[in-house]
Structure 1
Amino acid sequence: MIVTDAWEPQVNGVVRTLTSTVRELKHMGHKVDMITPLEFRTMPCPTYPEISLSLFPSRKVQERIARFEPHALHIATEGPLGLAARRYAIRNKLPFTTAYHTRFPEYVQARFGIPLAWTYRFLRWFHGPAKAVMAPTPVVLQDLQAYGITNGVLWTRGVDLDVFVPQKANVLDSAHPIFLYVGRVAIEKNVEAFLALDLPGSKWVVGDGPALPALKARYPNVNYLGVLRQPELAKVYASADVFVFPSKTDTFGLVLLEALASGLPVAAYPVTGPIDVLGDSHAGAMREDLREACLEALRIDRATARAHAERFSWRAASEQFANHLRPVEEARAETLAAQGSTPV
């Protein structure tokens, strides 16, 4: 059973990761049940209305877990549903795993000015009882360890290599070179660092978010598209010349893999996310000067970008996820063995 506060119709990396993982787990023969906000009365998250917060979910979450009797329980998020599932699991001595998908403390600091130490204290409390905390990159694991979260394991990400492919497309009607951003348009994504650059050609932004109206007003010469379905998005990637990833707070950045799989070189800061995805592949340019990275990425062969993306698949990532789960019976047997008893 997977419990998540992030789910459709949200469009973000967490939702895409979970939908892809569930699909692959089912193909591998597992039975998967999910608890999501779609089952509950919700309210919009303050300052982020596209995120739905479930109201008073504890009783139903407990009933759903008890009825399903999962062999393994995974709590994907730290929201109301995750808290309810965590409470039930601890009360009933049910082993569980958790995940650290996004740099939550950095987001909270960017939005509300709350010190990082306060939020990491909450994360230590939330993830402490988990048998494993799945994080997307080695750098993120190191960051968690530095803040006292020591039960981390690596759960990497994948990309749909059949949807995001190099193709001849020309759906972006503007001057070349075309520089593209895809993702949430929010303060923590640092989109303005891209829009403010003095670059040749044209710029495009694909996505939605709370910062979009202000950025549209401030940068009217930029081209804006809303949220796109994957087939249309794949054509947009293929039509651009450079994918610009200005975020300094992402733990991974699935859009990086989508762009690379489409044959689109990446320009980014040398920070967590781009460092872990690009490595020493030469499929992108990472510079402290983002404009310099954008211009350098123009010289990268598109075949190099695609070849690097082919190292990532959702099947491999989902097998990694499944191997980290902690089956209930296995955990109970270990407990009995520690107590000097033999399970019946």
Structure 2
Amino acid sequence: METSKSGRLLSRVAAPAGLFLACLAAIALVVGISVGIGDMPIPLSTTYFAITNKLGWTSVELNRIHETVIWEYRLSRALVAVFCGAGLALCGAIMQSMLRNPLAEPYVLGISAGASTGAVAVVILGIGAGAVSLSAGAFAGAFAAFILVAVLSNGARGGPDRTILAGVATSQLFNAATSYVVTTSGNAQQARDVMFWLLGSFSGVRWPEFALVSIVVGLGLIVCLFYSRLLDAFAFGDEAAASLGVNVGRTRIILFALTAVITATIVSMVGTIGFVGLVVPHAARFVVGPLHIRLLPACAITGAIFMVLADIASRILIPQQVLPIGVVTALVGVPFFSIILYRLQRAS
């Protein structure tokens, strides 16, 4: 009897552990493939040994140029894509739960529009006199938008509908400001540079960006998992959550602020990348169900893999040219989202 109980316990522990290891292996595989793609193709085995050599696990002799390309350029880019995809998908799941709206996504609070205005202010208007970087300007603009949404939606007392309306109004305001600055103050080259950044790009990210985004997204995932049961309660509405003992106002402020920090960090580094935070939570929910203790890790893993694959596609779809990553996610996300909606309609 005791043997059968211990066997069932081991199987319950082994199944999630095995699935977690399989997900890590899938992420490692797509990262390795991403590192190998470029003007100088690099075999997957070379990427593996370059990493294990650096960690001290192996001492295989490799081409110095390959090692430099891997460590100085491509590996950091692929790992930033992993955490950006995980962060956007995570924020999308939180926003859809908190706002009880299947069309909610990380940019519903106007953060991307604010980041765009901040970036344009630095690049075109020269605000900061060279002391403020594009990323810093974008981050400041993103938080300015978040504060405006908080004021318009009446902070913690604002309901989901009021928050969405405040986000729409804020987005329109900052988008108008961005368009005005670009059309009246910028030259053609500046407008092109800003437009490429707005559509998303991993070309300029290196290890400092990886360190920042990994810390922000990693801590964000831990906090979200801590609030997973409270997120389940929000599925029944604010009043139902309050009746279950949830402090609705405090929870709303913490989770909205958390999504704002994660989204602002990502947008300030790589620009606006659409559809990841909208599509991935629905795909993950379709597979693992609505409980957030399973949904949030599934979103993070799926978003990471999806973003790396989109980055790979952005470099190989058109020879000798890199597409903005937002274009690729939209091209993939729209039909994929249509399939999900069709299957949900059939299921209902």
The TM-score bracket by the shorter chain reads under 0.3
TM-score (norm 1): 0.27
Specify which structure has the higher proportion of strand: 1
Higher relative contact order (CA 8 A, sep 6+): 2
Specify which structure has the higher proportion of helix: 2
TM-score (norm 2): 0.27
